[in-house]
Amino acid sequence: MSELITKKDFAPIEARFMEMARVHNQVNYESEVQYACMLLKNNDYLLSIARQNPESMQAAVLNVAGAGISLNPVEKHAYLVPRRVGKKQAVCLDVSYMGLCHLAIKTGSVLWVHAELVKQQDTFEVAQVGERPIHNFSPFKERGPVVGAYCVAKLYDGSYKVEVMDIEAIKTIMEASEAYKAYKNGKARQCPWVDYFDEMAKKTVIKRASKTWPKMDNRLDAAIAVMNEHEGINFNQQTEDKAFKYNPIDYEKRTAQVEQVKTLLGELTQGLQLGEKIVFMNKMTGFNTFEDVKIQDNEQLDKIIKKLLTEKTSRALEAPEEEIEEAQVVSEAEKEAVKEDRKNRMIEHNEQINGEPVEESELQKIAREARQNLNETEVSTIKKANEYRFTLEGK
């Protein structure tokens, strides 16, 4: 029997794990290492592989941090499993179909998702685009062999995304799997496609369906990529190359970014009901709560800020011509000056959005100088118009 794996065997990845996990705050280093040690202790074959290939074991636990999905056996979301990678056995992270559903919901891709097998005696009909399929069967009668699988996900706009695969398509995926090939050729003792075909079929249709779901958080895609890569990871490279890509966080910058997002969301949702605010936040950020927004990395927050500033600019430019009349801007010169001022406002927003100065056009320069020459009464009128027009901007 191989020597047991302990916490010290994961010491080389501790700092890396904690830095990666800070991005989403979904998993804890101490807990996940404890779960990993327990899983290895209860499986002699997996334990022997971990001793022969410790880098793969460490990479698998780093992928736990990257995906933000726990090895907690009670949740049944993820496991450590043996896989043949290249010419040797490796310990790999495997995410269950329940784990994929959990990630899809947690990352804001969908409201809920469900995968199910269709058997020969079932009644199954695909409805119109955007609607749920119709699947009827009796759980108390023999349903016959599996003929396919489907995945249905409800999106935040209330519509449904449906993916259907027949048994031939599922088996094509199975036969292309290196894990299945290794088992078939006698090079592996276990194969998930043989031991857990139903679960693998559901995972397969979920993975295909996920390609069409909206995403702001890449953890679901990254988890699927790692599972797919089990079939060909090269562990000869450094351990950290096997984990999810992540960007080191500048926490001081993130504090400022979060404050800017909070301010912009406040301005853009002013006057909305709570439900409307949640829908708008999901549209702009991909998340339903501000707590989820706050833990994103700098790169993701920059994307959110850019999207919010773009929305703010768009609203400023959408004010109808009637509003100029309502602001009592009478002369054509005053109207043109107000319109040009709107353009200049857009330039200021673009500078914020892109982080680069935008040169003033010759026409804008002439208009600006012309406004400066207006008499005090005209200037006062224009200011009133601007105050009316840019209420959304808090100017």
Distance CA 87, CA 8 (A): 27
Q: Where are the domains of the chain?
A: 1-94+216-246, 110-177+184-214, 251-393
pLDDT tens-place string over residues 253-284: 888 998 999 999 999 999 888 888 888 888 88
Q: Which two tokens stand for residue 45?
A: 């074959």
Please answer whether residues 138 and 120 qualify as being in contact, where contact means their C-beta atoms are separated by less than 8 angstroms.
Answer: no
pTM over 0.75: no
Phi, psi of 279 (to 5 degrees): -60, -45
Closest by Cα among 163, 166, 188 to 177: 188
pLDDT tens-place string over residues 125-178: 988 878 899 999 998 999 999 999 999 999 888 889 999 999 999 999 999 888
Closest by Cα among 155, 55, 141 to 110: 155
pLDDT (tens digit, 0 to 9) for every residue of the chain, 395 residues total? 568 899 999 999 999 999 888 888 899 999 999 999 999 999 999 999 999 999 999 999 999 998 899 999 999 999 999 887 777 888 999 999 999 999 999 888 899 999 999 999 999 998 887 889 999 999 899 999 999 999 999 988 888 999 999 999 999 999 988 888 888 888 777 788 999 999 999 999 999 999 888 876 778 887 888 777 664 323 233 333 333 444 556 777 888 998 999 999 999 999 888 888 888 888 888 777 787 787 777 888 888 999 999 888 888 776 555 554 444 444 566 556 656 666 666 555 555 555 554 455 554 555 455 555 544 444 454 454 455 444 444 44
